[in-house]
Amino acid sequence: MPRYLGPGVYVEDNPGGARPIKAVGTSTAAFLGHAPDPHAALRIPTVISGFTEFQRIFIGDDTAASGGSILANAVAGFFANGGSSCYVANLASTDGPLTPDDLLLLDAIDGISLVAAPGYTDAASYEALIGDCERRGDRFAILDTPAAIDPLERFERQSRSGDAPGTGGLRPRSSKRGLAAVYTPWIVIHDALSSAPIDQPPSGHVAGLYARTDAERGVHKAPANAALAGALGLTRSISSAEQERLNPQGINCIRSFHDGIKVWGTRTLADSAGEWRYVAIRRLVTMIEQSVALGTRWVVFEPNGEPLWQALRRDVGAFLQTLWRDGALAGTKPEEAYFVRCDTTTMTRDDFENGRVVVLIGVAPLRPAEFVVLRLGQSTAESRVDEG
């Protein structure tokens, strides 16, 4: 305690003890593909904050008149739909599939939450994207189906069986942790450079919708039932009956309605009976995991005893209570929405001897209202007369 030698008022800054945990960002995307200028920042992930910046870096003067590329249009669609920041990795101009080495270009970059490789719809590319997200655990892959999904019966059959690509359609393999989602069909847009109508894989536009939904409602809100800005039409219309067959397979449909072209699905590629089958739940839990991990780094090298456990219960509990108040968790009171345990019941003797502190966290996320059931009651004219 400071030593005061004279009369007067002294102000001390004493830490309150609590260390607030802040939610990590969830909407920074990374796009891999071929830029209009094949030599621009080749295999060097570059952060950009608008399509004008993409044009300056990745589009040469000789390509401006001829049109863009799938990558350029995906980035333009990302920003048009609400994205604010993304990384672009310009790959070598080859016709081969995406490889794990391509994904490793992004490995040292923190803060990326969404990953897409627009137009890469072969089995090897799917495997590279899903495998990398599952290896890391902190990124979510947005995938496209092949451009041609007609006839739908053949596409559906191959989606279930996993036939080889190039035969009319392929569903990516299941993601055990639910860290990927796939969208179909392709959309019709104006080329970002030539303005000509072209067919475009939707993953870039969908990533922008994710970012917009996160900013407006929160990561717990399903990025669905919202129009895709810049979408003029679809390469194939999908009916309600057809979607009933695709939805259980984890294939999210983009549908045309009177008020726009909308994302009309919110499934991941996890098992349809598992806990990770909804995009919003998977991304919310990932955000919680990453936020708690980052917000509790101060724990490292602290004495592993009750004062530390109490501090962890306090800080993590305060973070989860904020999420509950924001409507991200179910329950009418905090104890119905989450729990935090950190005591002798969560750690074994081996944990103590090896310097591990174990916090057990449980949350009850809100599930999206995917199926809305209205129950209507009718009363006959006679019954109304009798009641009168």
Query: Do β-strands 114-116 and 140-144 pair in parallel, antiparallel, or remain unpaired?
Result: parallel
Looking at residue 149, its pLDDT comes to 86
| pLDDT at residue 386 in the model | 45
pLDDT at 66: 58
Contact 280, 266 (CB under 8 A): yes
Quick one: pLDDT at residue 67?
Answer: 66
pLDDT in tens, 121-172: 999 999 999 999 999 999 999 999 999 888 887 777 776 655 433 333 456 8
**How does strand 86-90 pair with strand 46-48?**
antiparallel
pTM for the whole thing?
A: 0.90
- How confident is the prediction along the chain (388 residues), in pLDDT tens digits per residue? 566 677 766 665 545 568 899 999 999 999 999 999 999 999 999 999 999 999 999 987 655 445 679 999 999 999 999 999 999 999 977 778 999 999 999 999 999 999 999 999 999 999 999 999 999 999 999 999 999 888 887 777 776 655 433 333 456 878 889 999 999 999 999 999 999 999 999 999 999 999 999 999 999 999 999 999 999 999 999 999 999 999 998 999 999 999 999 999 999 999 888 889 999 999 999 999 999 999 999 999 999 999 999 999 999 999 999 999 999 999 999 999 999 999 999 999 998 888 899 999 999 999 887 666 666 666 555 444 444 4
Q: What is the CATH number of domain 29-281?
A: 3.40.50.11780
Give me the residue spans of the domains in the chain.
Answer: 29-281, 305-388
